[in-house]
Structure 1
Amino acid sequence: MALMEPFCRRSKIDKFKRWLGYHFAYSNCNNKIWIFCDQIYGCTIIQDTEQQVTCTINAHGDSIIITAIYAKCKIYLREPLWDDLRHMANNINIPWLRGGDFNCVLDASEKKGGNTHKMSKSMPPINCIIDCSLIDPGYIGSTFTWCNGRGSTQRMWERLDRAFINYEWSQKFINTTITHLIRTSSDHSPLFITIENTQQNHKKYFKFLNLWVNETGFLDVVKHAWNIDIEGSSLWRFHLKLKHTYKQLSWWSKN
């Protein structure tokens, strides 16, 4: 688990580690990023800067890399972050996920309210994404992950929080799902990321039963499952809608 801008002294991190039931806790150099890890995983910090913490996670003999990001608010201050990501991308050939608060939007559709977005502000992170060959796996939930919380005439929403994966990650964890959870005490939505290892010995395949179409409630299940709010490319949305639909049908049939 990565926590951005904890608004708490570094000395408190061990207390929160115990409260949350984690074995490992780490605070980065300016205390803006906290990392927590379970005991069953080996977590090793390999890079620590003001805007990102990168660590290796070892589980069951496999290694992955996670980078937790908390980018600066000003455009020019984010340049060192993009350079760090480019440098690491040239030296990493194992599954790698980078996620957190990027403090910028990549497209005008990721902003609602306020001044009109200038695409020139999006070019530095877009160039970094291209240079690093990053993949956006899409998301489930609201488009916007941040709100300024002001009155209706001054309210603004933006998608500031996101996660990217590299090619190696996409091949090993073909089912990577990112969910934008509901904002509660923060002005940001938490990102809940789930992954599934494709290298499984026993995989259950979905089978559609023709008799379902004659059962009461079948169409309601399909419509409800298919209408889930998903963003991303057309092919990615189609993939996740199919996945969600067959899971809901399986649950409905079983119950």
Structure 2
Amino acid sequence: MIFSFVHALCTVEGRRDLWAKLLADKPHSLPWCIGGDFNVIVNGHEKRGGRPFMVSEGSEFLAFMEEAEIFDAGFSGLSYTWCNNRRGRARIWKRLDRLLINGECSDLASAISVVHLARHPLDHAPLKISFALRMDNGPRPFRFLNVWTSKPELLGVIREAWDTEVQGSPLRALCSKLLTVRRAIQLWNKQHFGDIGTTVREAEVGLSRADEELTHDRSDGVLENVHRAQAELNRALAIEE
């Protein structure tokens, strides 16, 4: 697969040069993904606030997509990926970031998903891109998470599980003790941390909802909800890191 990551300029002339260079790099038969900040929108639904959308704004971008034989992969999550973070009527939202793919890329993956993650405190929302391939179905291995060591009681959990009486040869006893410790840690993790990845995703969804509400209600109460959701996400991300 070929990935092209872009950060387009704000001017029509600057983007025109980018379209030409991307067309020069267009692969003939390989799956191609182009993602990033294109700094342009293609219809009025991709903007809120500011001056009304003009059809001419996105005409050259659409012409480039047609010539390159690529299309928008779609998205879920926040409606907009960029905000100028100004207050009141001066606040503007746009969908400036996206993923474009060609037909070969669509044929390669059984499913491609693009999620607009929480934007705060940045002005752009990160894009989370997932490809579901046939090789993604294997069992997940056990991994020790460093964040577990932040809890002093972990050592007691391990010691108690390890001291369990096991019958059999020394090698069989070792394997049984390792399996017992693994199960004990997994149970303890569910009680104290839960699924770290799920916690982050839930925090991202909460912040996305709060940010989406802010596009309709700009009161101080809603802004406070955004800040609270941001704090929850920061905590979840710190644990994940």
Q: Which of the five TM-score ranges fits, normalised by the shorter chain?
A: 0.5 to 0.7
Question: What is the total number of aligned residue pairs between the two structures?
Answer: 139
State the match for 1:83 in structure 2.
Answer: 20
CA deviations 1:23-60 (Å, max 9, x no partner) are xxxxxxxxxxxxxxxxxxxxxxxxxxxxxxxxxxxxxx
1:97 aligns with 2:24: no
CA deviations 1:99-158 (Å, max 9, x no partner) are 000011011110100001111111111000111111212111011000111111111100
Structure 1: gaps (5+ residues) = 1-63, 203-228, 230-255
State the match for 1:110 in structure 2.
Answer: 46
- The Cα of 1:87 is off from its aligned counterpart by 2.0
Q: Distance in 2 between matches of 1:171 and 1:181?
A: 26
Partner amino acid, structure 2, of 1:99 = G
State the match for 1:66 in structure 2.
Answer: 3
Partner amino acid, structure 1, of 2:23 = R
State the match for 2:66 in structure 1.
Answer: 130
| Contact 1:172-1:199 within 8 A present in 2 as well | no
Q: Secondary structure at the match of 2:25?
A: helix
- The Cα of 1:200 is off from its aligned counterpart by 7.4
1:9-28 alignment runs, 5 A limit? none
Q: Secondary structure at the match of 1:187?
A: coil
Out of 89, 99, 111, which is 1:153 matched to? 89
Q: Distance in 2 between matches of 1:110 and 1:194?
A: 22
Structure 2: gaps (5+ residues) = 139-207, 209-241
CA deviations 1:41-97 (Å, max 9, x no partner) are xxxxxxxxxxxxxxxxxxxxxxx11101000011111111111122222x4311111
| Contact 1:177-1:194 within 8 A present in 2 as well | yes
Q: Distance in 2 between matches of 1:151 and 1:172?
A: 44
| Contact 1:68-1:99 within 8 A present in 2 as well | yes
| Contact 1:172-1:198 within 8 A present in 2 as well | no
Return the index of the structure with the highest Cα Rg.
2
State the match for 2:56 in structure 1.
Answer: 120
Partner amino acid, structure 1, of 2:38 = F
From the superposition, tell whether residues 130 and 199 of structure 1 become closer, same or farther in structure 2 (CA, over 3 Å): farther
Q: Distance in 2 between matches of 1:74 and 1:201?
A: 44
From the superposition, tell whether residues 140 and 153 of structure 1 become closer, same or farther in structure 2 (CA, over 3 Å): same
Partner amino acid, structure 1, of 2:122 = S
Q: Secondary structure at the match of 1:66?
A: strand
State the match for 1:186 in structure 2.
Answer: 122
Partner amino acid, structure 1, of 2:2 = I
